[in-house]
Amino acid sequence: MNREPSAAQQAMGDLAPKFAELTDNVLFGDIWERKELSKRDRSLITVAALVALNRTDQLRFHLQRALENGVKKPELIEEITHLAFYSGWPTAVNAVTVAKEVFSKL
């Protein structure tokens, strides 16, 4: 059975195979699949954390994932606007820039 390599395997599997395995099996295979929170809620939480921590590389992926999990573009922009007052204006500006980039590719 030939499976396509996961995004984690493609991005880092050659350099950090165990880290890619943990990403696939623990983060996305377990944590994201837990029933206590919906994937939509997990996406909102994850985007908020990434905005607040100014983690723009991972934000690109998670904005797209949030859309796939049912979060609407206006909701994501509202989340970023709200966070500007809690995480800082520069982090929100960076997040809006990333969102604009992600949304333009849809």
Domain ranges for the chain: 7-36, 37-106
- What is the predicted pLDDT for the residue at 68? 98
User: Is 1's pLDDT higher than 90?
Assistant: no
Share of the chain above pLDDT 90, in %: 95
pLDDT tens digits, one per residue of 26-54: 999 999 999 999 999 999 999 999 999 99
Using CA atoms, how far residue 66 sits from 4, 16, 44, 61, 89, in Å, is 23, 26, 7, 9, 22
What is the residue whose two structure tokens read 């809690």? 86
Domain 37-106, CATH class in plain words: mainly alpha
**Model confidence, pTM:** 0.92
